[in-house]
Structure 1
Amino acid sequence: MKLKRSIPSWRHVFKLDPDRTLDAAALEAICLSGTDAVLVGGSSGVTYDNTVELLSRVRQYEVPCVLEVSELEAAVPGFDLYLIPTVLNSRHPDWIIGHHARAVEQYSYLIPWDDVVPEGYIILNAGCTAALISEANASLTASEAAAYAQVADRLLRLPIVYLEYSGVLGDLELVSTVHRSLENAQLFYGGGITDAGTARMAAAACDTIVVGNALYSDLEQALSTVAAVKQRHV
């Protein structure tokens, strides 16, 4: 069975930034935590070299390792899957389809298409780096966000919709509204998940939680998010 068919069963993902430092003990704890996957990606400072280095370290463990491609130059071979974000609420077409078309024009012969999974990003924290870079219209109402999500789900047939609050705990009522609007797409949520309590709250509103920043500020609390989500679905 291909790994990508297991995406709907993912409940918990840790996101590692190649531009940030993790010592060997911390990385081991993350990879052996029971998380469903390790997602590698970041909004800035991601290079080929630091992505290769992080991949080689994670590959010591059996956890699935996935690259979210934000920089074409950092598209390193050897990952289990490649998530390709399109920022649905960007004000600039480059972040919706322009960068993607140029990448295919230049490198289509190198792209492992069977391992590529598109994801529809909806960025909802106006102050985060991703929103600033992509010129996202982050001031969406719940109904507007749900409309974007339904375009991704039912019109574009994207397998993943990703609500990104990046560093702050978002409006979980809005997240729930978006979740209820989806028929087929898996709803990923990221932002402000720092401990078991926030993990349980976020997991109740979506399909998959993504925990990132907390790994670098309070590793023990971040690790507790795995059991909080998994125990809820035993």
Structure 2
Amino acid sequence: MSLTQFAKRFESAASLLSIAGRTLLGLETNPVPGEWTHITKVDPEGEKRLPLLFPSYLSHTSAVSVGGSQDVTDENTEQTFELLTDSGVTAFHEPSEATHVTEKTRDHANFLAVPEVLNGDSESLVGTLGKGIDYVREDLGPEILEQKTGLPLSEFLGDRAGDFVAGMMMDEAVFEAYIIMNVDSAAAREANVTEEDLLSPQEAKERALAAQHHLESEIIYLEYSGTFGGDEAVEMLEAIDDGVTWSQIWYGGGLDNSENAQRVLDAGADAVVVGDAFHRVAELEAELFDRAREEFDGDASAEQLQSWVDETVDIEDSEAVNYLSTIPEVTEPEQRAIEYLAAGLEFGLAVADVAEELSDPTPSEIRTAVSDRQFAVESTFRAIPGADANGMVEEFAGGLLADHFDLEMPERAVAAHFGIDL
């Protein structure tokens, strides 16, 4: 038997075993964990800020999806991944452009999620993917091989070097098959989804089956993008769930309370995806920080701030509760919200107090001032599994101070992602 014949038989046998495992034997071969019930979308875009206590909020989510469609670059994507890695959260990359994928993002991301739109035009299904593969073959692939081996392998192997990396990355990637049902959304505009492209529940089920059996998409994603799909979404999910057995079913769009989140989970979604509600927490925190600086002179205790937040904010209707209540595992989201908002304010006020003690500092003096100061939030971060509590405190505080004093420090890039500004 020739090597070529052996390779063909081996590949055929492996494919048959994979199909048998996930259909006849019911084995869990999908690389996307079935226990995930809540995904938080974190957008690197400058306008989409993070609350200062984002590690605590994200400690309750199953995983974080990093990506966005506007003002996203490879640089701010790398910064976002570095922040999330320190916080101990599981994060994967859903790029809107191939150039957002770098060696750093690959190192940080749990996996690469490639979107493909089932009811858009052909560009949104294969055109964008083709451009991405071409970028990997021509640019990223040879660069990765050279960095890993220290040798200019593309000079010896030619296009085969890029083909190897492109094939490896596509084999490792997870594919998200989108069904977009909000024609007024940015996602619909990008995929050219119009009223004529909207699907009935039966059509959605058929597209989902094609995605599972032909495209082998690990995720079927029903996307209403910014608005809740209501009864229509429930009916769509029930139909998709009736057909799909291997792919994970995700729902995203307009979720900001526990009732709607549970409703789509009960209808067949394996996980809910929440993005806007999370970023709006940063807006609330920034607003409260400005008010707290006027209310409190210098440091304030956690107890003082919790009482003040409870009195100042309509907590049941707050952005913090809206986000936390979409996570099935979170009990008493109102109390959690008060604790997290107060802890974030306490940290911000303490850093502002350090800023008042400094005058035209150097980067070294900022780092010394931060390391000499005991920040109460460190104990909060220490309770998060896998988080580098001390490292996060020094990086966050140093970044806020560097930004305040207009100093060029690596930490300053971190501060650019926070809603709070000293």
TM-score (norm 2): 0.50
User: What is the deviation of 1:200?
Assistant: 0.7
Q: Which has the higher strand share?
A: 1
Aligned to 2:193: 136
Does the CA contact (< 8 Å) of 1:88 and 1:148 recur in 2? yes
Structure exhibiting the larger radius of gyration computed from Cα positions: 2
Pairs within 5 Å for 1:17-166: 17-19=43-45, 20-25=48-53, 27-33=54-60, 35-76=61-102, 77=105, 78-91=108-121, 93-108=122-137, 109=141, 110=144, 113=169, 115-137=172-194, 138-166=197-225
User: Quick one: distance in 2 between partners of 1:70 and 1:179?
Assistant: 27
Gaps of 5+ in 1: none
Runs of 4+ in 1 over 3 A off after TM superposition: 227-230
Amino acid at match of 1:211: V
Give unpaired runs (5+ residues) of structure 2: 1-29, 145-165, 281-318, 332-422
Structure 1 Cα separation of the partners of residues 177 and 43 of structure 2: 20
Contact 1:193 1:202 in 2 (8 A): no
Q: Is the 8 A contact 1:199 1:229 kept in 2?
A: no
Identity %: 29
State the distance in 2 between where 1:228 and 1:169 align: 21
Range 132-141 or range 188-197, more displaced: 132-141
Deviation at 1:70, TM superposition (A): 0.9
**2:279 equivalent among 216, 220, 231:** 216
The one-letter amino acid paired with 2:256 is T
After TM superposition, give the deviation of residue 55 of structure 1 in Å: 1.0
The answer to whether the 8 A contact 1:122-1:162 is kept is yes
Do the aligned partners of 1:67 and 1:79 also contact (CA within 8 Å) in 2? yes
Aligned position for 2:38: 12
Partners in 1 of 2:182 and 2:92 — Cα distance? 24
Give the total of aligned pairs. Answer: 224
Q: Name the SS of the counterpart of 1:5 in structure 2.
A: coil
RMSD of equivalent CA atoms: 1.9
Question: Contact between 1:122 and 1:164, CA under 8 Å: does it hold in 2?
Answer: yes
Bigger fraction of residues in helix: 2
* 1:204 partner SS: helix
Match of 1:177 in 2: 239
Letter in structure 2 aligned against 1:116: A
